[in-house]
Structure 1
Amino acid sequence: MQIYMAMKAMPCYILLPTVSEYMIERGWTKCYSTLDQFNWFLCLLYIALYIVFVEFGMYWVHKKLHDIKFLYKHLHATHHMYNKQNTLSPFAGFALHPLDGMLQASPYVIAMFIVPIHLITHLSLMFLEGIWTACIHDCIHGNIWPIMGAGYHTLHHTTYKHNYGNYTIWMDWMFGTLKVPLAEDDSKKAK
Structure 2
Amino acid sequence: MKALPWYTLLPTIEEYITEGGWTRCFPRVHYVGWLHYVVYVALYLILLEFGIYWMHKLLHDIKPLYKHLHAPHHIYNNKHNILSPFAGKVGAALHPLDGILQALPYSIALFIVPMHFSTHLVILFMEGIWTASIHDCINAKIWPIMGSGYHTVHHVTYRHNYGHLTIWMDWMFGTLVEPDDHKED
Q: TM-score range by the shorter chain?
A: over 0.9
* Among candidates 50, 53, 68, match of residue 47 of structure 2: 53
Corresponding residue of 2:6: 12
Corresponding residue of 2:113: 115
How do residues 173-184 of structure 1 correspond to structure 2 at under 5 angstroms?
Answer: 173-182=171-180
Runs (4+) of structure 1 moved beyond 6 Å? none
* TM-score normalized with structure 1 length: 0.90
Match of 2:31, SS state, is coil
Identity rate of aligned residues, in percent?
65
In structure 2, give the amino acid aligned to 1:15. L
90-99 or 63-72: which moved more? 90-99
* Among candidates 139, 149, 152, match of residue 137 of structure 2: 139
Q: Which structure 1 residue ranges, 5 or more long, are not aligned?
A: 1-6, 186-191
* TM-score normalized with structure 2 length: 0.93
How do residues 19-58 of structure 1 correspond to structure 2 at under 5 angstroms?
Answer: 19-58=13-52
The structural deviation recorded for 1:10 is: 1.9
CA-based RMSD: 1.4
How do residues 151-170 of structure 1 correspond to structure 2 at under 5 angstroms?
Answer: 151-170=149-168
34-43 or 102-111: which moved more? 34-43
Corresponding residue of 2:82: 87
Match of 1:152, SS state, is helix
Match of 1:143, SS state, is coil
Does residue 64 of structure 1 match 2:58?
A: yes
Match of 2:131, SS state, is helix
* Among candidates 147, 150, 162, match of residue 149 of structure 1: 147
Q: How far, CA to CA, are the matches of 2:40 and 2:118 in structure 1?
A: 13
Does residue 76 of structure 1 match 2:74?
A: no
